[in-house]
Amino acid sequence: MGGRRGRRVDRAPHLNHITAAYGQRVRRFGPNAQGVCWADGDGQTLRFELLLRVVDPADARAGFTVADYGCGYGALFTYLDDDPGLNVTGYVGYDMCPEMVHTARAQVRDPRARFVFADRMNRAADYAFASGTFNLCLGSDPEGWNHYVKAGIQHLWAHAAKGMAFNMLDHHTPGPMDGLYYADPDEFVDFCAQHLSPRVELIPRDALPDWTILVRR
């Protein structure tokens, strides 16, 4: 990492384990939902639909830019590009897994899209997104992971000129799996309202095992 493709920051050992796990997934399953640890493509698409509710309809028509934090193989850009009602004028996807970035660059050749090998964003966009970015914790200390997630949310907000959206697994999900982080939505609504903006909207867990939070300027 580093150089013109992204700013290097020192990562804790647990993040190296997570990076390796994602690399193994995309090598095994390829550029699809299972390759980024989702159960199926329908769920991945529904998550994108919910996240994109943060976009103002006027921006959707006039044009907007996107920062995708934990972009995986670039599925969000493909979803955006396939929707004629969403006028995306620029997109930057960031991922700390080199295999994901290489796969995204091979999959997406659109000149509006750029994929960066980095664990930090380096430029602002109109809207910033994190879909599933904070779910895989692989046995990290729960309190430490909670702090890591909140720092990531603040980093996301600092690079969102108009709004941001993220999702996490709900702490009441039946049959929780080892290695995944399950979060209390009320805690994160309060965190966003206190530290980011009073314009916070929660989309509760329903058909998916995760909830979604939208934050607007």
Distance (Å, whole) CA 161 – CA 118: 20
Which has the closest alpha carbon to 165: 119, 207, 132, 137? 132
- Look at residue 7 and tell me whether its pLDDT is greater than 70: no
217 vs 14, more confident: 217
Q: What pLDDT does residue 13 have?
A: 61
Question: Which tokens is 118 given?
Answer: 């980095």
User: In the predicted model, what is the mean pLDDT of residues 111-136?
Assistant: 96
Cβ(138)–Cβ(179) below 8 Å: yes
Residue pLDDT, tens place only, 133-175: 999 999 788 899 999 999 999 999 999 999 999 999 999 998 8
Q: What pLDDT does residue 145 have?
A: 94
42 vs 3, more confident: 42
Q: What is the mean pLDDT of the chain?
A: 92
Output the CATH code of domain 9-216. 3.40.50.150
Which residues face 129 on adjacent strands?
A: 68, 165
Distance (Å, whole) CA 51 – CA 79: 12
Question: 0.85 exceeded by the pTM?
Answer: yes
Residue position matching structure tokens 């997570």: 18
Q: What pLDDT does residue 37 have?
A: 80
- Judged by average pLDDT, the poorest of 11-20, 113-122, 157-166, 176-185 is 11-20
Distance (Å, whole) CA 185 – CA 89: 32
DSSP 76-99: HHHHHHH-TT--EEEEEEEES-HH
Q: What are the residues whose beta carbons fall under 8 Å from the beta carbon of 182, sequence distance 6 or more?
A: 168, 169, 170, 171, 173, 176
Residue pLDDT, tens place only, 86-111: 999 999 999 999 999 999 999 999 99
Side chain identity, residue 40: D
